[in-house]
Amino acid sequence: MCTKKLYQNFVLEYEYKCDNLLNSGVQFRSNVYAIELILDGKGKNKKIAAGRVHGYQVEIDPNKPDRMWSGGIYDEGRRGWLYPGLRGGDAKAFTKQGQDVYKPGAWNSVKIECDGPHIRTWLNGEARADFEDDMTPQGLIALQVHGVGKHPEAVGKTIMWRNLRIKELP
């Protein structure tokens, strides 16, 4: 499910409840095109299929408790993990904080703030990601659900969102 409107500078807040067998996220400043796209990956071109949503994603990551990067930023379809990852953050400390902050089986709150290249996230009121990246200055917002693939135990499990609010910044 994607917005039709493109957003640039904003604060997005929402709550989610996710079965611990699933993995999901919320795309922001993301794009989808009707034709195949070749992105310049700084020396390594990346092919993005027509119709594929790609871009920044705030991760919902309860199915990997040894990693627990909920509130981290993954660059879907492009560069992979940005925070922790290419744009900073200590993976071990990020995991420890995620294990302490995430509420399994309960509603969790997320805040995303994008102001120019500055991107920040919070999970249940605790700061998670804080970095700068200017690859995509605007894009759509989308709710993402991963396929269960080779994990039949995840069939029929759910993720729910509520209280989605967006405030555009100047």
Q: What is the 3-state secondary structure (H, E, C) of the chain?
A: CECCCCECCEEEEEEEEECCCCCEEEEEEEECCCCCEEECCCCCCEEECCCCCEEEEEEECCCCCCCCCCCCEEEECCCEEEECECCECCHHHHHHHHHHHCCCCCCEEEEEEEECCEEEEEECCEEEEEEECCCCCCEEEEEEECCCCCCHHHCCCCEEEEEEEEEECC
Q: Does residue 97 surpass a pLDDT of 90?
A: yes
User: Which pLDDT tens digit goes with each residue over 7-42?
Assistant: 999 999 999 999 888 889 999 999 988 888 887 766
What's the confidence (pLDDT) of residue 50? 87
The distance from CA 72 to its chain's CA centroid, rounded to whole angstroms, is 7
What's the confidence (pLDDT) of residue 22? 82
> Among 31-35, 79-83, 122-126, 158-162, where is mean pLDDT lowest?
31-35
Q: Are 6 and 165 in contact (CB under 8 A)?
A: no
Q: Does residue 155 surpass a pLDDT of 80?
A: no
What's the confidence (pLDDT) of residue 65? 78
The rounded radius of gyration (Å) of the Cα atoms in the chain is 15
Could you please state the CATH topology (level 3) that the domain comprising 10-168 is classified under: Jelly Rolls (2.60.120)
pLDDT band at residue 153, thresholds of 50, 70 and 90? confident
Q: Does residue 168 surpass a pLDDT of 90?
A: yes
C-alpha closest to that of 142 among 112, 117, 121: 112
What's the confidence (pLDDT) of residue 66? 87
Query: Two tokens at 145?
Result: 């659900």
Instruction: Report domain extents, the chain.
Output: 10-168
Q: What is the mean pLDDT of residues 64-70?
A: 88
pTM: 0.90
Q: What is the mean pLDDT of residues 76-105?
A: 95
C-alpha closest to that of 12 among 121, 157, 158: 121
